[in-house]
Chain A
Amino acid sequence: MLHRHRWLTPYLLLAPGLAWLAAFFLVPLGILAYQSLQSGTFDFGYQFSWELYNYWDALSRYKAHLIRSFVYAGLATVLALLVSYPLAYWIAFRGGRWKNFFLLAIIAPFFVTYLIRTLAWQNILADQGAVVGALRDLHILAPDGRLLATSTAVVAGITYNFLPFMALPLYVALEQIDERLIEAAQDLYASKTKAFLRVTLPLSLPGVFAGTLLTFIPAAGDFINAQLLGTPKQHMIGNVIQSKYLELIDYPAAAALSFVLMAAILIGVAAYSRALGTERLTG
């Protein structure tokens, strides 16, 4: 009996989980699309009317927020890469038998609740805090200069919060590199720098690619860092979506903005993977 219907087994295994994802992930996206084309107000109700104007309105009114989101997310991704690459390299090639311990230290921030570690940055960067005091004494910061409530604080917070997403894939890619390849390059008279640029770096590109996407996507949609470490001047597209949905109850505009965010991320990811090239990734 069971054998006659073997072809059915995988579908039976898949059904409950995929049904859940269809009902609570795919269908909601469809409803979001539907809602983004509605017109009307909360008091008098919304009607579906192919209101493409919502998109035009969202784009023109919140262009600054959208651009800011991508600039902040881009900066945070580059900073995370600059911090993580040497760190991942050091663990992969110099970590020795303590590799797992150092790896644990990299993901340790994830064990502190997201909001609490962001509040810790609020604490570190506060006007009364030691960092601001030291920078003022060193005249790097003006006597009334601040760190909290600036773009710097928001970008620093985003960088910190998503850094493990960058560091882990980098480590995995670097760890897999056969060190004999690097030795071979040096035997063939490549300088250390050249061996790195021609052997190690290209082999680690898949890790760079994965890490960049894993960092950039959540960073572009984030609103917590801008809320806790910035002011309305630093607000990103996520802040706008959040307040339109939960405070202003302007659903069509919020839905349209969500789709603009998703589309912009998809276009960015496609352009990025094209620029980096899968051919160069596989050598």
Chain B
Amino acid sequence: MTAVIRRHALTAYAVLAFIYLLLPIAVVIVFSFNDPKGRFNYVWQGFTLENWINWDAVPGLRDAIVLSLEIALLSSIVATGLGTLIALALARYGFRGRGATNMLIFLPMSTPEIVLGASLLALFLNLHFATGFNTILIAHVMFNISYVVVTVKARLAGFDRHLEEAAMDLGANEWATFRKVTLPLIAPGILAGFLLAFALSVDDFVITYFNSGSEVTFPLFVWGAARIGAPPQVNVIGTAIFVIALAAMAANVLLQSRRARQEKGLV
């Protein structure tokens, strides 16, 4: 009997925890359909599709989204390139300075964002380098490299090196082996690293806030809007980002389970 109670108590606790986790998401989605009177989108006033149809009715919102996407795309391409090379070096080669390299990868992830943002601004101020698009880009590449390294390295760790040796035995040179064998096999890891970097870039506020100059990314736009009462269009964009990220995640899970089934079929 006590076992039954304990079993259900745990399940009930888990359900409550899930409600706690998902409640704010529900609020964001529901209030994207609200028709607020006045400037605060706090109280439910009635259903409308107006905010979705006129999503860019708020001045500056569209530019902020475009800037965020540009920065995210460019910074994650660069970070994915640089991070993949580091991951390959760490997973494939023994070399002096491996410990220091691992440390340098780990440190940016364990430093508070505000210190990363403030120190980068200190650099730009001392060099008299005006903050703006370029400095946001530099900052985003910097904090994304480590995450790409970790993601790609994880894929390289579970990788059968005999496949590369077999290619070499069959007369492929190092470059051909890399292009024809290694790259296709670690491609899912590289894609995952790219998507993670993209998501982190779109979401970043603190580091961008310090290094943006007069440029306004989407999180900075939300920050500014929050001071005077964020319009429901902010919820619309928040909901859209949520749905897109969720769909990408679900697609990834489906793709991986299909791949796993295929690999099982081969064996």
Residues on A facing B (Cβ under 8 Å): 2, 7, 9-11, 13-14, 16-18, 20-22, 24-29, 31-32, 35, 83-84, 86-87, 89-91, 94, 100, 102, 104-106, 108-117, 119-124, 126, 128-129, 160, 163, 192, 213, 217-218, 220-224, 228, 238, 241-242, 245-246, 251, 254-255, 258, 261-262, 265
Contact = CB atoms under 8 A, between A and B. Distances in A.
Contact of B122 (A16, A87, A126, A255): A255
B42 interface: yes
A45 B229 CA distance: 38
A28 B116 CA distance: 8
B174 A2 contact: yes
Nearest to B23: A124
B119 interface: yes
Interface string B144-184: 01100100000000000000000000000010000000000
Interface of B: 3, 6, 10-11, 13-14, 17-18, 20-25, 27-28, 31, 41-43, 81-83, 85-86, 88-89, 92-93, 95, 101, 104-105, 107-108, 110-116, 118-123, 125-126, 138-139, 141-142, 145-146, 149, 174, 199, 202-203, 205-206, 209-210, 218-219, 222-223, 226, 230, 234-235, 238, 241-242, 245-246, 249-250, 253
Contact of A221 (B3, B22, B113, B119): B113
A116 B27 CA distance: 10
A246 B210 CA distance: 7
A115 B119 contact: no
* Majority secondary structure of chain A interface residues (helix, strand, loop or mixed): helix
22 contacts: A13-B85, A17-B149, A18-B101, A21-B142, A24-B123, A25-B142, A29-B119, A102-B18, A104-B246, A109-B21, A113-B238, A115-B205, A116-B222, A120-B24, A120-B25, A122-B226, A129-B42, A217-B111, A238-B112, A242-B114, A262-B115, A265-B112
The 7 A-B residue pairs whose C-beta atoms are closest, nearest first, are A221-B112, A17-B82, A28-B119, A10-B93, A120-B24, A13-B89, A111-B245
Contacts of B112: 217-218, 220-221, 238, 261-262, 265
B46 to A, nearest CB: 16
B108 A25 contact: yes
A113 B27 contact: no
A31 B122 contact: yes
Taking each of A84, A128, A245, which has the highest tally of chain B beta carbons within 10 Å of its own beta carbon? A245
Given A111-B199, A124-B23, 12 more contacts: A13-B85, A13-B93, A14-B85, A24-B123, A90-B10, A104-B246, A108-B242, A111-B246, A120-B28, A221-B114, A238-B112, A258-B119
Contacts of A163: 21
Contacts of B3: 192
B223 A115 contact: yes
Contact of B107 (A25, A108, A110, A224): A25
A119 B205 CA distance: 14
A255 B149 CA distance: 29
Contacts of A192: 3, 6
B205 A32 contact: no
A245 B21 contact: no
A31 B203 contact: no
A223 B145 CA distance: 24
